[in-house]
Amino acid sequence: MYGDAIINWLSFLDYCKALAAGVLSEWKEQRVIRTVVIDTLDNLYSMCGTWVCANTEFDGKRFKFPEDVSYGRAYKRISRLLVEKFLKLQALGFGVILISHEYKRPFKWAG
């Protein structure tokens, strides 16, 4: 699991299950892992958002993009799922490092 790519939300959930299984088996026949690095959180958030929109009905219908769901309910669901997974990893004893990228742009004061 060292450096393997996460291609969608379900593959991330599979990795989390594999990590939990490693802890429960006391890492028999596996390399011990103590830290999980998510690079990048932006991509994982997007993958989770795609899964939420495809698998959750809001007001009786499905949406393609989280921003199309009223009152930010999709964003709340995405955030809740991510935080839940990160807390479970921490509860299993893993250090969790999240990497995110910020786009900087110049700001000109108009006043």
pTM beyond 0.85? no
Complete DSSP assignment for 73-95: HHHHHHHHHHHHHHHHHHHTT-E
Three-state SS at 35: strand
Q: Cis before residue 35, ω within 30 degrees of 0?
A: no
One digit per residue, the tens of pLDDT, for the chain of length 111 reads 567 789 999 999 999 999 999 888 888 877 888 999 999 899 999 999 999 999 998 988 888 889 888 888 999 999 999 999 999 999 999 999 999 987 777 777 776
C-alpha distances in angstroms, 6 versus 12, 13, 95, 99, 109? Answer: 6, 9, 18, 14, 41
